[in-house]
Amino acid sequence: MSTYYFRFFAVLLFAIVLLTAVSCSRVGNSIETVAAETKDNPADTPPIVSATPIKIAKGEQTAVFAGGCFWGVEAVFEHIKGVSDVTSGYSGGTKQTADYETVSGGETKHAEAVKVVYHPSQVSYEQLLKVFFAVAHDPTQLNRQTPDTGTQYRSAIFYSNDEQKRAAENYIAEMTKAKTFAKPIVTQVVPLDAFYKAEDYHQDYLAQHPTQPYIVAYDQPKVENLQKQFPDLYVSNKNSAAADKIISADDAAKKALNVGAKMPAFSLKDANGKTIESDDLLKQGNLVVVFYRGSWCPFCNLYLRNLQKNMTQIKAAGGNLVAISVENPDNSLSVAKKNELDFTVLSDPNLTIAKQFGIVYDFPKETGELYKSKGLDIAKHNEMEKAQLPLSATYIVNKKGEIVYAFLEPDYKQRAAPEVIIETLSKIKSGEVKK
Q: Just list the catalytic residues.
A: 69
Residue 205 DSSP SS3: helix
The burial of 195, by beta-carbon neighbours within 10 Å (0-12 exposed, 13-18 middle, 19 or more buried), is given as buried
Q: Are 351 and 387 in contact (CB under 8 A)?
A: no
CB environment 119-143: b (16+ within 10 A), e (fewer):
bbeebbbbbbbbbbbbbbbbbbbee
**Contact between 91 and 194 (Cβ < 8 Å):** yes
| Contact (CB, 8 A) for 268 and 324 | yes
Q: How many whole angstroms separate alpha carbon 340 and alpha carbon 347? A: 17
**Which among 199, 224, 171, 195 is positioned nearest to 99, based on CA atoms?**
199
Contact 175, 181 (CB under 8 A): yes
Residue 297: which of 266, 271, 273, 323 has the closest Cα?
Answer: 323
Q: CA angle 125-139-184, nearest 5°?
A: 120
Which of 293, 313, 312 minimizes the C-alpha distance to 303? 293
Task: Locate the DSSP E strands across 151-205.
Answer: 155-159, 188-191, 194-197
Beta strand extents in 92-227 (DSSP E only): 111-118, 144-145, 148-149, 155-159, 188-191, 194-197
Please say whether the beta carbons of 202 and 88 come within 8 A.
Answer: yes
Q: Which amino acid is at 235?
A: V
